[in-house]
Amino acid sequence: MCGRFARPMPRAVLEEHFGVAFPENVEPDWNIAPGLPVPVVYGAKKRSVVSPVWGFVPSWADQNKAKPVINARSETLWEKPSFKNAAIKGRCLFPAGAYYEWKRGFSGEKTPFAVRMKNSEVFALAGIMEEGCHPSFVCRRPTSAVITCEPNSLIRSVHNRMPVIITPENYDVWLDPSTPADKIDLLMQALPSTLFETFQVCCKVNSNRNNGPELLMKAVIRPSLLD
């Protein structure tokens, strides 16, 4: 699952990385949560930036019954009627610098961890997008979800799912609606553990009302009295 992520870099860094202009209101954000518009990169021949709501609703869903979904499983992306059209025509990229996951302990408590790539300030979460009736908004508007897959060995120590991450050399392949499904399937695999690092962060990230660079700082782990 991917239910929270960070985009801590300035707009200029995003524009250089993705080769497209971002709106002026796109600022560094250390605690991006579902339910609000999130900038994504869309389009193959000519890239653009749009801001769908993070919470996918298919175009045919009834607004009164719509249940937004923040993640779509890669294994069933082509099979589920909710995602099939968006998987072909609405693939997009969520710019990110890290994402958060909560590790469940033996007694049920959840500890927040950050995951980021070792050698890249910016990376892209694979997503899908489609216009639908999101219950939080009166009118129809673009909605989106992050695609997840089976984790690599490092991420598995924290959680049993991870977001699909598209590498820069595959951005155009991913965004092009004419790319065959079998090639897209190859991209929806976990990248190697050696490319990532994960570390415990402060529990302030638990609330999306908190935001700032301190959320991505390594937590100070105090030794147990039993050690």
Q: Beta 141-149 vs 53-54: how paired, if at all?
A: parallel
Nearest by Cα to 98 from 119, 115, 121, 118? 115
CA distance 141 to 128: 14
Active-site hit among 92, 101, 130, 149: 101
Active-site hit among 2, 92, 133, 149: 2
Question: Is 202 tagged catalytic?
Answer: no
Question: Is 149 tagged catalytic?
Answer: no
Amino acid at 13: V
Contact 152, 19 (CB under 8 A): no
Residues 6+ apart with CB under 8 A from 119: 195
Return the active site residues.
Answer: 2, 101
